[in-house]
Structure 1
């Protein structure tokens, strides 16, 4: 449900850390987005292919995270944990969180079942000698392990917990972080969309559902779409009260809508999507006519794209520019909402929009798709959609920093 009235001093985003197939750090992310660089390829990490002659899985994998952790700790941390620490370090430094009392800093990790590939490999390697399973497996399978890893390396002493909403988990973390700051529970809260480290078993499950594309590229909102392609990704956004912002302000978190539509599996539901957007707009004190840019969920699945287009039509958003970040970096699953929110805020700061790749024959020509390369556009109010299996529908409204866009 939306708030009774808009917050006159909405929380702001003051730090961003991001990692994707474009590389580690905001500079690599920014450059790759605006260049529209395609990075899809065969998935190569151990445990990601069936190896039985069946069609291979395509997607996007990132370079290994930088070594930030002490060696003794790094040896016990999986890919998801190491990526989380790297993006948190970047966001923490930019936001200057060392100035904030540790007891006034919170962390919300968006994502569940984050280390499936590691468990898959462990079962393969230790099935015949379970007595030799390393002790770390007693806790690394828990989603809270990433909370503990981050809080052990950074002075986060307010709270640290996870939140799950399938592919909307990263966006759900932003909603919860903004609420924690607005309520005064903490002065700063980090919303972290965690890297969901999938295995061949998970990918085969998506294929069996008919949700996974055949590759080699992903085509959101195009007549040639046939499903999503997985993309490793992770992002951290620091949300604070505006009076505590020390330097950079990327944008304001003006409104959020988070609702259930009663579906269990992968069935997209336009009614739930519209209701989430209407709640977010009411929370922000805005109308759909005030939105000048939409970052679509846009997975590339036929049913998902069709439902989202219906939602855009029902909201009368034909005047807004629209792009799809998954066309460049793939679908980050748990991380997607946070990584794409980072893309929204970076575009807002730069006054540029990244293109939608592989959009040759749009399903609907009546929208302001960003095609053929990056485009200049000064975003005033952005709408970000994130939807997840299990009927989770989230819409976020971001506004430019006060005085930044007339």
Structure 2
């Protein structure tokens, strides 16, 4: 299947929840106010000198009674997000149009509901057995979030969970794109869900990747990331699935690559990132000069930002405006690709470039046009980067239909 055979897809309906708020309006308001959702509040029993991005109200979410076996923080977050912006109604309407077997489900996550297992270990009986109410397959299992959403929406088509660290919920766009191009499905729900857990917090702390300050992507003195949680969902349909609207957001291109350089560190020159970016541009049929804004992966770790900065400079030079929005949301891991794709969609629809928060001094070694404050901009196409542990890279090109005509 060639890049030329892949047609643009319509982001027909979408929503997201993060520490900035739940729903598109809350997220846009926070971005416009340049407000970060990160705080130094502790999570669960973790007492670490770091900032986290917690989604408000997750603990109060009650799943429908028939889905009680799926009850865990990750699926509570998924359910909270699904209820925003009329997404459930849009998904059910799509199911009525296409049929339950013709809608694919492709979600990204890194740890799924691992918190549920962490809690279950505290309740082992005297012989070391889990309590009867613990449902590993429906909660902790990597596929559990897809099983939950599939059951909640009554879908019967292909369902896949991608777990490629921080590129997970960007790569699902490619899964859906290929299955639609092959004629296996008529529409897809894509996105990602990742929730806070102790394994993630203590794991990144043991790797010495957590900052004791709020994260500062691309700052000269950056020293680590801030972990967040989030969920994002998108209904993808063919670009002609409904009458065209000027504010339609289109998926124009996807690029994927694998570094195979190191277990966790990226290639220092960002060679895998460059390949993913160039592949996305090629599939979209455009050049680097046609991108008006880049939403950087921008984790605020020294090596990752340096590698991405070099990759961006190699492909785009030093002129294309770019920023990382992780200073607002934190690094939401398996949900980051979906969250940042939708922030890019908001930037396109509302004609602005979101500034990267907490920057004090741009790293002088990186020759990029980093934006530290919001500014209006008539955007036509944006690039959203997501790069994960082990060099799993994915870049998305999104466009505003009205600006492309």
Task: Give the TM-score normalised by the residue count of structure 2.
Answer: 0.91
Q: Provide the residue aligned with 2:160 in structure 1.
A: 161
Could you tell me how far 1:127 is from its partner in structure 2? 5.7
User: Are positions 1:273 and 2:273 aligned together?
Assistant: yes
User: Are positions 1:371 and 2:372 aligned together?
Assistant: yes
> How far apart are the structure 2 equivalents of 1:127 and 1:362?
53
> How far apart are the structure 2 equivalents of 1:380 and 1:309?
22
Deviation digits for residues 63-100 of structure 1, max 9, x if unmatched?
A: 12474732453474111112223333443435642433
Aligned-pair RMSD on alpha carbons?
2.2
The answer (yes or no) to whether the contact 2:143–2:161 under 8 Å persists in 1 is: yes
Gaps of at least 5 residues in structure 2 are: none
Describe the SS at the equivalent of 1:189: strand
Counterparts of residues 6-405 of structure 1 (less than 5 Å): 6-7=4-5, 9-47=7-45, 49-50=46-47, 55-65=48-58, 67=61, 69-71=63-65, 73-74=67-68, 76-90=70-84, 91-94=87-90, 96-97=93-94, 98-126=96-124, 128=126, 130=129, 132-199=131-198, 201-215=199-213, 217-245=214-242, 250-269=248-267, 270-364=270-364, 366-372=367-373, 374-401=374-401, 403-405=402-404
The answer (yes or no) to whether the contact 1:226–1:302 under 8 Å persists in 2 is: yes
The answer (yes or no) to whether the contact 2:266–2:390 under 8 Å persists in 1 is: no
Work out the number of aligned pairs and report it: 395
Deviation digits for residues 331-360 of structure 1, max 9, x if unmatched?
A: 000000000001001111111122111112
> How far apart are the structure 2 equivalents of 1:56 and 1:123?
25
Describe the SS at the equivalent of 2:104: strand
The answer (yes or no) to whether the contact 1:74–1:82 under 8 Å persists in 2 is: no
The answer (yes or no) to whether the contact 2:217–2:298 under 8 Å persists in 1 is: yes
Describe the SS at the equivalent of 1:29: helix
Gaps of at least 5 residues in structure 1 are: none
> How far apart are the structure 1 equivalents of 2:136 and 2:69?
12
Instruction: Mark the CA change 1:68 to 1:273 in structure 2 (over 3 Å): closer, same or farther.
Output: same
Describe the SS at the equivalent of 1:41: coil
Instruction: Mark the CA change 1:266 to 1:40 in structure 2 (over 3 Å): closer, same or farther.
Output: same
The answer (yes or no) to whether the contact 1:34–1:353 under 8 Å persists in 2 is: no
The answer (yes or no) to whether the contact 2:216–2:222 under 8 Å persists in 1 is: yes
Could you tell me how far 1:316 is from its partner in structure 2? 2.5
The answer (yes or no) to whether the contact 2:309–2:367 under 8 Å persists in 1 is: no
Describe the SS at the equivalent of 1:85: helix
Could you tell me how far 1:283 is from its partner in structure 2? 1.1
Could you tell me how far 1:399 is from its partner in structure 2? 1.7
Instruction: Mark the CA change 1:127 to 1:309 in structure 2 (over 3 Å): closer, same or farther.
Output: farther
The range that moved more, 109-118 or 32-41, is: 109-118
The range that moved more, 241-250 or 14-23, is: 241-250
Instruction: Mark the CA change 1:155 to 1:243 in structure 2 (over 3 Å): closer, same or farther.
Output: farther
Could you tell me how far 1:303 is from its partner in structure 2? 0.6
